[in-house]
């Protein structure tokens, strides 16, 4: 009976967590849409979203300019912030689990450096690929990120055939440093594009609009699916790589799936928003502290948490010293690091005393 009650408790805790996160996320989205240079009452936000999504009749006191601010500017912006938060938190959780390394984050393997280099090249040369026009930057960025991943894995294979974790991390760091140097080189050579490049590198979700939302969405869906179907394997591999083999996990196959999924997420996030640090490193830690290590729950829960976090940070970034907007990537770290430090210290203390 005792055992049963514990199981029940942990199950109900899970349901509660999901419900709480969904409510938080909805609140954050509404809040993010409502607050800005033109303040829109919360109730209006709900009404407008209701009208646009569920085709409820729109009350007369709301004018069409408010609707277009919401639908053309704020809504896609908070959605993009949410999706980028989703992607980075997922990728971070997966990389940390796969590499058995709590210090890993979406940027460990150099995928983001590849994506960044792609974007910086587009900005530096003012490239416009035929047919995709303004989409040149995110598309080139994703492709560059993917090529980097292929490069890292083939290099790791070249060194050691069985794709061991240490080799992958080392290959990633190597590629990362090399690509980072190339980015610095381009920055050093750049003239008037400098501000644009730096601005992009610091990360932002402003003025992207629906096309960017629809660009990241399919990658997010694909990445999420790939990670979720490998969640049990991720549990086994994050426990011990050799152990995973002995309980029948196809380690090579699932390592590849997880790497690919997490890299898609990272690459697409970097492509639409630049490098937003911290989310992918710390959100999984907070997730594990609250919900434990089971990736079947940890992945979706961390994803939701990452979304809430990034929507709120974006809100802060554009209101704290309005009308000037702070780069979101800088703010995530400025807010997140001390918060995490406090959580971390308290968690450790609790563990030591119990």
Partner 1 sequence: MISAVKVNAGYEGKKVLNDISLSISKGKMTGIIGPNGSGKTTLMKVLNGTHPMNGGEVLIKGKRLQDYSAKELARVIAVLPQHAESSFDFTVREVVELGRYPFYKGLLKAASAYDEQVVNEAMELTGVQGFAHKNINQLSGGEQQRVMLAKALAQEPEILLLDEPTNHLDLSYQMKLMDLLKKWIFSKELTVVAILHDLNIASLYCDEIILLDEGSVKADGQPRAIMNQDLLQDVYDTNLTRQEHPSTPSPLIAPVPEMDAQEKTIQSIELTASKELMVFSSPFPLKTLSSALIGGGFQWASTFVNRHVDKNYYIDDAHNEYKDYLQQRQFDPHDTIGMMTAARLEDAGVVSIQEKDFSLLIAATAGTGNAVDAAQSWIRKEEDVTIGTINIWIFIESKLTDEAFVQAMMTATEAKSSALREHEVLDPVTKTMATGTSTDSLCIASTQSGTHTMYAGTITLLGKAIGKGVYEAIGQAIENYRKRMALC
Q: Shortest gap between Cβ of 294 and partner 1 (angstroms)?
A: 6
- Of 187, 159, 182, the closest CA to residue 110 belongs to 182
> In angstroms, rounded to a whole number, what is the distance separating the alpha carbons of residues 44 and 61?
9
Q: Which stretch binds partner 1 (CB under 8 A): 51-59, 77-85, 130-138, 233-241?
A: 233-241
Rule CB under 8 A: say whether 229 interacts with partner 1.
yes
Query: Between 126 and 248, whose beta carbon lies closer to partner 1?
Result: 248
SS (H, E, C) 157-216: HHHCCCCCHHHHHHHHHHHHHHHHHHHHHHHHHCCCCHHHHHHHHHCCCCCCHHHHHHHH
Based on the shown chain and the rule CB under 8 A, indicate whether residue 55 belongs to the binding site for partner 1.
no
Max intra-chain CA distance, the chain: 71
Candidate residues 173, 232, 325, 343; the one interacting with partner 1 per rule CB under 8 A: 232
Supply 234's token pair.
């991720």
Q: Which is nearer to partner 1, 6 or 132 (CB)?
A: 6
Does 166 participate in binding partner 1 (rule CB under 8 A)? Answer: no
**Does 245 participate in binding partner 1 (rule CB under 8 A)?**
yes
Q: How far is the CB of 263 from partner 1 (least distance, A)?
A: 21
| Residue of 211, 243, 322, 346 interacting with partner 1 (CB under 8 A) | 243
Structure tokens at 86: 């989703």
Select from 134, 177, 240, 346 the one that contacts partner 1 (CB under 8 A).
Answer: 240
CB of 247 to partner 1, least distance (A): 5
Among 17, 238, 266, 273, binds partner 1 (CB under 8 A): 238
Decide whether 235 or 256 has the Cβ nearer to partner 1.
235
**How is residue 170 written in tokens?**
């080392």
Q: Any idea which residue has 């492509």 for tokens? A: 271
CB of 227 to partner 1, least distance (A): 13
Q: Which of 38, 50, 239, 342 binds partner 1 (CB under 8 A)?
A: 239
| Selected binder of partner 1 within 123, 169, 226, 249 (CB under 8 A) | 249
Smallest gap from Cβ 96 to partner 1, in A, equals: 8
12 binds partner 1 (CB under 8 A): no
Residues that bind partner 1 (CB under 8 A): 3, 6, 97, 100-102, 229, 232-233, 235-236, 238-240, 242-243, 245-250, 288, 292-294
């Amino acid at each position: 009976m005792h055992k049963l009650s514990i199981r029940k408790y942990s199950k109900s805790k899970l349901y509660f967590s999901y419900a709480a996160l969904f409510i938080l996320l909805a609140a954050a989205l509404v809040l993010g849409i409502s607050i800005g240079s033109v303040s829109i009452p919360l109730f209006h936000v709900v009404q407008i979203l209701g009208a646009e999504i569920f085709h409820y009749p729109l009350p007369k006191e709301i004018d069409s300019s408010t609707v277009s601010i919401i639908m053309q500017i704020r809504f896609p912006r908070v959605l993009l912030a949410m999706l980028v938060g989703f992607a980075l938190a997922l990728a971070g959780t997966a990389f940390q689990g796969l590499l058995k390394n709590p210090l890993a984050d979406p940027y460990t393997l150099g995928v983001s450096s590849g994506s960044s280099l792609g974007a910086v090249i587009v900005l530096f040369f003012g490239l416009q690929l035929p047919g995709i026009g303004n989409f040149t930057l995110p598309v080139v960025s994703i492709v560059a990120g993917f090529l980097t991943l292929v490069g890292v894995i083939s290099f790791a294979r070249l060194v050691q055939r069985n794709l061991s974790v240490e080799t992958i991390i080392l290959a990633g760091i190597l590629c990362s440093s090399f690509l980072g140097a190339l980015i610095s080189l381009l920055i050093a050579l750049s003239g008037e594009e400098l501000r644009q490049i730096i601005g992009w590198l610091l990360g932002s979700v402003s003025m992207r609009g629906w096309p960017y939302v629809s660009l990241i969405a399919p990658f997010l869906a694909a990445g999420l699916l790939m990670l979720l179907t490998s969640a049990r394997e991720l549990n086994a591999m994050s426990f011990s790589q050799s152990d995973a083999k002995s309980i029948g996990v196809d380690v090579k196959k699932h390592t590849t799936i997880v790497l690919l999924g997490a890299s898609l997420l990272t690459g697409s996030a970097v492509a639409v928003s630049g490098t937003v640090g911290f989310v992918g490193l710390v959100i999984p830690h907070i997730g594990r502290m609250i919900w434990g290590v089971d990736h079947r729950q940890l992945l979706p829960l961390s994803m939701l948490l990452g979304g809430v976090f990034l929507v709120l940070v974006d809100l802060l970034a554009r209101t704290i010293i309005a009308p000037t907007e702070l780069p979101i990537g800088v703010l995530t770290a400025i807010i997140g690091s001390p918060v995490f430090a406090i959580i971390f210290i308290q968690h450790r203390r609790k563990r030591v005393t119990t």
